[in-house]
Amino acid sequence: MNRDYYIFSSGRLKRKDNTVYFIDECENKRALPIEQTDNIHIYGEVDLNTKLLNYLAQYGVMLNFYNYYGYYSGTYYPRKKNVSGFTVVHQSYFYIDYDKRLELAKAFVESSIHHILRNMRKHKEKINVNLIEEIEFEKENIDRAKEIDELMGVEGRIRKKYYSSFNDILRNGFIFEKREKRPPTDPVNALISFGNSIMYTTVLSEIYKTQLDPTISFLHEPSTKRFSLSLDISEIFKPLIVDSIIFYLINNRIISKDDFKIEEGVCFLNDNGKKKFLSEFERKMSTTIKHRHLKRKVSYRTFIRLECYKLIKQFIGDEKYKPLKAWW
C-alpha cells in the first residue's frame, strides 16, 4: 500500500536519476520511495524544480502545500489519467437536477450526523443526554428540507449542539467555547481546523484516483478555486476520523498545550504538535475494518475511495448511493 510523506523542515526536493531526495538545510539527505508514495505534504519552505514535478507527475504523486499555520494552501495536481467524460456528464446532470442534488446533499448530512451521534454515544456517560435527544429531534428536519440552504441550517444547528458537548468529553484542561475558523484562537479550534484541512486533502487524493470531477459538488456550492466535492465527502469523515483523533490525543495526554503556539491572536499547532496529530492520523487511516458487504478488511482510507465509487455508480445508474454509516 502506498503512503503519504510529510516534510516539516526547510530544504530542497530534487530528483537524481530515478530517486527523489529531500535535502534539509543541514544537507541531510532522505530518499523518498516515489513508486510507493501517494502524496507529499510540505509544511516547511521547500525549493523544487520542473524536473522534479515532471517526475512526480509520471507516478501521479500529489504535492500538498500548507501555510505557516499548517493549513492547506493548494495542491500540485498532476494531469488526471483516470478520466471519463461519460461520468462527468452524468455527475453534472445530478447537480443541474435540483431534486437529485438535494437528495445527495441530504445523504452527506445524514452520514455526518450519524457519526456525530456515534461519537456522543461513546461518551454518553459524560455528556448531557438531552443533547443527544435534541439532535435526534433536529435530525428529522433533514427529510423536510426543500432547499440546500435549509439543509445546511439543520446541519449547522446540530453541529452547534455537538460542539457544546466537547467540554464534557475533553479532559486535561482543554476548554472549547465555540467554533472559530478564521482564525482559530484556542487549541481545540486549532486542532479542528488542522484536522479538517488534512481530511480535505486526503479526500481530494482519493477523488483523484477515480473518474469523479472534484469541482462538481452537491451540498457545498461549486465555485472557482476550490475542489468542492472534497468538502462534501469530508462531511462524512470529519466526525468519524478527525474528531475521534482529537478526543484520543487530548484525553490520553498525547498532545498538550505545549504543542501549540499563539501569534497575533492565531492559535496553531507547532511542528511537534503537527507530528503527533499526523502520526495518529496515519495510524487511523491504515486501521482496517471487516466490510459487511465486501467480506474483507478495508482501511479507513479505502472507505473514502469506496464512497467515491458509490457516487459513480449512482451517477451512471448502476446503484443508488447510500452513504457510509459506521456500524463498528
Per-residue model confidence (pLDDT) at position 128:
86
Per-residue pLDDT of the chain (328 residues; tens, 9 = 90+): 688 999 999 999 999 888 899 999 988 999 998 888 999 999 999 999 999 999 999 998 999 999 999 999 988 988 877 889 999 999 999 999 999 999 999 999 999 999 999 999 999 888 888 999 999 999 999 999 999 999 999 999 999 999 999 999 999 999 998 898 888 999 999 999 999 999 999 999 999 999 999 999 999 998 767 789 999 999 999 999 999 999 999 999 999 999 999 999 899 999 999 999 999 999 999 999 999 888 899 999 999 999 999 999 999 999 999 999 999 9
Q: Where are the domains of the chain?
A: 3-76, 85-315
Tell me, what DSSP letter sits at residue 318? Answer: S
220 known member of a binding site: yes
Task: Report the distance separating Cα 135 and Cα 212, nearest Å.
Answer: 32
CATH classification code of 3-76:
3.100.10.20
Integer Cα distance of 115 and 283 in angstroms: 19
Whether the bond into 214 is cis, omega within 30 of 0 = no
Q: Quote the CA–CA distance of 146 and 160 in Å, as a whole number.
A: 22
Kindly report the three-state secondary structure assignment for every residue of 129-191.
HHHHHHHHHHHCHHHHCCCHHHHHHHHHHHHHHHHHCHHHHCCCCCCCCCCCCCCCCCHHHHH
Query: How far is it, in rounded angstroms, from Cα 323 to Cα 115?
Result: 11
- State yes or no: 150 annotated in a binding site: no
Residues in Cβ contact with 154 at an 8 Å cutoff, skipping those fewer than 6 apart: 109, 138, 139, 141, 142, 145
Angle, in degrees to the nearest 10, between helices 98-122 and 129-139: 170
Continuous H helices in 209-299: 228-237, 244-251, 271-286
DSSP 240: I
Amino acid of residue 16: K
Distance CA 180, CA 46 (A): 30
Alpha-carbon distance 82 to 268, whole Å? Answer: 36
pLDDT on residue 89: 97
pLDDT digits (tens, 9 = 90+) for 252-287: 999 999 999 999 989 999 999 999 999 999 999 999
Give which of 182, 185, 211 is closest to 90, Cα–Cα: 211
Q: Is 155 annotated as a binding residue?
A: yes
* Phi, psi of 41, rounded to the nearest 5 degrees: -105, 125
Longest dimension (CA), the chain: 62
231 closest CA partner among 125, 126, 169, 148: 148
Grid coordinates representing 44 are: 516547511
SS3 249: helix
Q: How far is CA 98 from CA 101, 105, 108, in A?
A: 5, 10, 15
Query: What's the CA gap between 321 and 316, in Å, rounded?
Result: 11
Whether 166 and 126 have beta carbons less than 8 Å apart is answered as no
Decide if 216 contacts 91 (C-beta within 8 A).
yes
Place domain 85-315 in its CATH homologous superfamily: CRISPR-associated endonuclease Cas1, C-terminal domain (1.20.120.920)
Among 190, 209, 237, 235, smallest CA distance to 82 is for: 209
